[in-house]
Structure 1
Amino acid sequence: MSSGPGADSAPAPTDHHDAPLTTFSSLAVRNYRLFFIGGSISNIGTWMQRIAQDWLVHELTGSATAVGITTALQFLPMLMFGLYGGVLADRFDKRRLLFITQASLGITGLLLGLLTISGHVNVYHVYALAFVVGLVTVVDNPTRQTFVADMVGPRLLPNAVSLNSANFHSARLIGPAVAGVLITAVGGGWAFIVNGLSFSAPIVGLLLMRSGELSRPRRAARKKGQLREGLRYVGSRPDLLWPIVLVGFIGTFGFNFPVWAIAFTDGVFDAGAGSYGLLNSLMGGGSVVGALLAARRGSRRMRFTFAAAAMFSAVLMVASAAPFFWVYAMLMVPLGLTAMTFQVTANAGIQLASDPEMRGRVISLFMMVFMGGTPIGAPVVGWVTDHFGPRVGMLSGGAVCLLATAALAMVLARIGGLRLRIDLRAGRRAVALVPRDPQPLTTTA
């Protein structure tokens, strides 16, 4: 990527301004196509490692709390240092940063695989490497997220964000199933090895990209106070601040699927690693559908994001009462669909609402509260699950998310000069947000 300080912000030449938008429009851009293919391969390895890592910790400790601690350690660096990753993404060449982060993630996978296969692994090794992965992710996540805009331009950005999510969760259909087979047949160590090797694919994709077809956004100059500048910017924008707060609640108390799924698989339904892999695959299938629907719909309206959050919370609560394994498994599809619809629409809306020179810091704050909330939420829901049972743990997580969604929706409605109208007359919309006054404040809700 040949960008430098002072370069003007411009969309990529391959933005395809006149082409009609379709579900897969972004794949017409060569650089994004290479990025997508490389990610498809590494994402399968990533899902294999996630399943194998959770199962390995469960085998070593027999504790849902330990699984929660592992998840927490992987996301703790995002909570501690997340904004620094955004500063680096705004300041340095994103393509070069991705070379470094992808290679580092591959090395950690290979190291955990060698420790496991050799029989020397213990839970503290897993904890340490999970923390290292988290440190790399602090830089990798905002860089990878904002690099998409450099490849496809603003018009295709919502579509590309949705396809990225579909890509990641399509791998969830394959990775967990393969991991389950490998764990049963030869042990989880080989899943870690495969994951480490899979990062060669995105590295090759980055090497093959055409620099001239990447946009050149203005890089943030090195100066003091860039973290505070990013926080002030978000604080001054309600259309950024309150969706990010909602993302924090959902990420902290709702996106703790590994903790609950392992507890339900082993403790409620007395099933094995293969069943746990199946649950992940089914949720991945729902996530793919949700991402593709978001890619086609292209909605960036805040109210749609809040509606998706409410639906996700409700499905969590319903799933907590599933009487049989097959009912619980089938509910993973709508759970994945609503979770991904929320995540994609929130991500795309926040990126597009941000100024290009601030986008790295804004998206890093988004990822910090989304992923960084897990170190707080995962041990808490793990403790509740261990002491009160998986059903209470999952139900309480869904209830907290639903209450937060309703409360924040009311805050935004008030800021925007809106009120809730309930009209039960035939032919009228039953529930709608309408202006409180004849001339309400402008809102993006």
Structure 2
Amino acid sequence: MNISFLFGGIARALSTPQYRNYWAGNGISTTGRWAHRVAVGWLTWELTESEAWLGIVAFADLFPTVVIPIFSGVIADRIGYVRLMRYTVLGAAAVAALFAGLVALGRIDIYLVVALSALIGTLEAGSGPARISVVHVLVPRSELAAAIALNTATFNLARMIGPAIAGGLIIWTNVATAIAFNAASYVIFLAILLHLREMPNPRDGEVRANMAREIWEAVRYIIDHPGVRIIMVLIVATALLIRPVIELLPGFAVEVFNRGPGGLSTLLSSMGLGAAASGLWLARRGDTRGLTRLVVWSFLITALALFAFAVTNIFWLGVGLIIAVGYFLLIGGISSQSLVQNVVAPQLRARVLSLYLVASFGLPSLGALVIGWIASLAGLQVTFAVAVVIAVLIWLWARPIASAQANDLERID
């Protein structure tokens, strides 16, 4: 029994040295980033003992994801994915090292925490389109689905491992060491990027338009391509109607299940477990064929699982249902990204994927804001039940359209 039989698409994707090195460096960097977030959150609490400041620091770190990728996607298409990642990772390493040094020397205050968090969040957001676009040129097209799924599974594993490392470092050393761990993870990733060969730029020799026009070219591409358009519709619907449950899980833990922080931790960990499992399954599956069907049906199953989660008051049933939500939510997300990457024109790839990033990771904050406000008036359970009904109506409209585009979205010639 060979290793390819056991691990399927994972083994085939990792058999490509360039991708294998990139995957390892990106995974180390992502682990460091999650450790950094936990360490900065703890530092914020030590400095202020204020929930409001915790929210401000988190906003400073995450808000750049809503805006920056739109512009960095244009830059990535202009100068190349690897070059942009080198610049942003070098900058992030420098900021993290400065952050750790200021904490170690006792020269930090909450205003510097906000400023440095915004800066490192901006650099991370700036590398986002390049990080996901580069996978397409590191592996053969036939292994693209496996490589994207493996990257996403690794992200979710890092989300569990990074905080554990940060907790240990804070307990046994101090916060500065946990932040320095992130700086070291960036340095490792940068060393790998410096040995990664430059990828051919499909836009070499092209006369550049202004940035706004180049962004509009990506928007027009999505509108004019029927397959990409329907995939993006489902992504936006997921972001606004389903994905906000993650941000509102604290409300479910307290108001619906009458649990405290332990209950919230169980719900979050369970959702992460489902997400990691689906990522590994898709990576082992490693085939673009059938992904359109997975996108369509995972959207419906996620919605139905969320409906059941929203209406139950039984905690352990809710845990099982949130595992299902995490599992099928990520199947839809990974499959959608794989299909978009599979068909998008090379000269537009980073720009189109930057819009994908904004829809997937930026719009949920808007969805959480709106759904949270409605829930404050109507209650969480009723609000999410209505959101799911709307999602199912969208699915009924979108299913035949997406199915008709499957051959084009899944072609590997």
> What band does the TM-score fall into relative to the shorter chain?
0.7 to 0.9
Contact 1:49/1:195, CA 8 A, preserved across alignment: yes
Contact 1:48/1:176, CA 8 A, preserved across alignment: yes
Shift of 1:374: 3.9
2:76 and 2:327 mapped to 1: Cα distance? 30
Cα–Cα, structure 1 residues 216 and 408, in superposed 2: closer, same or farther, change >3 Å?
same
1:133 aligned partner: 120
1:28 aligned partner: 15
One of 266, 283, 289 as aligned partner of 2:277: 289
Following superposition of structure 1 onto structure 2, how do residues 343-382 of structure 1 map, counting pairs within 5 Å?
A: 343-380=333-370
Following superposition of structure 1 onto structure 2, how do residues 47-196 of structure 1 map, counting pairs within 5 Å?
A: 47-54=34-41, 60=48, 63=51, 70-114=57-101, 124-182=111-169, 188-196=175-183
2:261 aligned partner: 271
Percent identity over the alignment?
A: 25
1:246 aligns with 2:246: no
Q: How many residues align?
A: 396
Cα–Cα, structure 1 residues 295 and 278, in superposed 2: closer, same or farther, change >3 Å?
same
**Local SS of the residue matching 1:23:** helix
| Paired AA for residue 392 in structure 2 | A
| Paired AA for residue 232 in structure 1 | R
One of 258, 279, 299 as aligned partner of 1:309: 299
**Local SS of the residue matching 1:269:** coil
- The alignment's C-alpha RMSD in Å is 3.8
Shift of 1:184: 5.6
**Local SS of the residue matching 1:199:** helix
Cα–Cα, structure 1 residues 241 and 163, in superposed 2: closer, same or farther, change >3 Å?
same
- Which ranges of structure 2 fall in alignment gaps of 5 or more residues? 1-6
Following superposition of structure 1 onto structure 2, how do residues 312-331 of structure 1 map, counting pairs within 5 Å?
A: 312-320=302-310, 331=321
Shift of 1:354: 0.8
Shift of 1:163: 0.9
Shift of 1:296: 3.2
Contact 1:249/1:404, CA 8 A, preserved across alignment: no
Kindly provide the CA deviation profile for residues 368-392 of structure 1, in whole angstroms up to 9, marking residues without a partner as x.
222221442344456667x579xx4
Kindly provide the CA deviation profile for residues 316-340 of structure 1, in whole angstroms up to 9, marking residues without a partner as x.
4444566576665555533332222
1:337 aligned partner: 327
Cα–Cα, structure 1 residues 168 and 182, in superposed 2: closer, same or farther, change >3 Å?
same
Cα–Cα, structure 1 residues 47 and 329, in superposed 2: closer, same or farther, change >3 Å?
farther
Shift of 1:341: 0.9
| Paired AA for residue 38 in structure 1 | G
- Which ranges of structure 1 fall in alignment gaps of 5 or more residues? 1-19, 417-432
| Paired AA for residue 260 in structure 1 | L
Shift of 1:80: 3.0
1:231 aligns with 2:219: yes
1:87 and 1:415 mapped to 2: Cα distance? 30
Normalised TM-score (structure 1): 0.74
1:426 aligned partner: none
| Paired AA for residue 335 in structure 2 | T
Kindly provide the CA deviation profile for residues 159-200 of structure 1, in whole angstroms up to 9, marking residues without a partner as x.
111111111112223223333445566665543332222112
Shift of 1:32: 0.6
Shift of 1:366: 0.7
Shift of 1:292: 1.8
Contact 1:29/1:152, CA 8 A, preserved across alignment: yes
Cα–Cα, structure 1 residues 253 and 410, in superposed 2: closer, same or farther, change >3 Å?
closer
Contact 2:169/2:177, CA 8 A, preserved across alignment: yes
1:192 and 1:398 mapped to 2: Cα distance? 41
1:42 and 1:262 mapped to 2: Cα distance? 28
| Paired AA for residue 334 in structure 2 | V
1:408 aligns with 2:394: yes
| Paired AA for residue 287 in structure 1 | A
Cα–Cα, structure 1 residues 41 and 443, in superposed 2: closer, same or farther, change >3 Å?
closer
**Local SS of the residue matching 2:146:** helix
More helix by share: 2
**Local SS of the residue matching 2:157:** helix
1:398 and 1:160 mapped to 2: Cα distance? 35
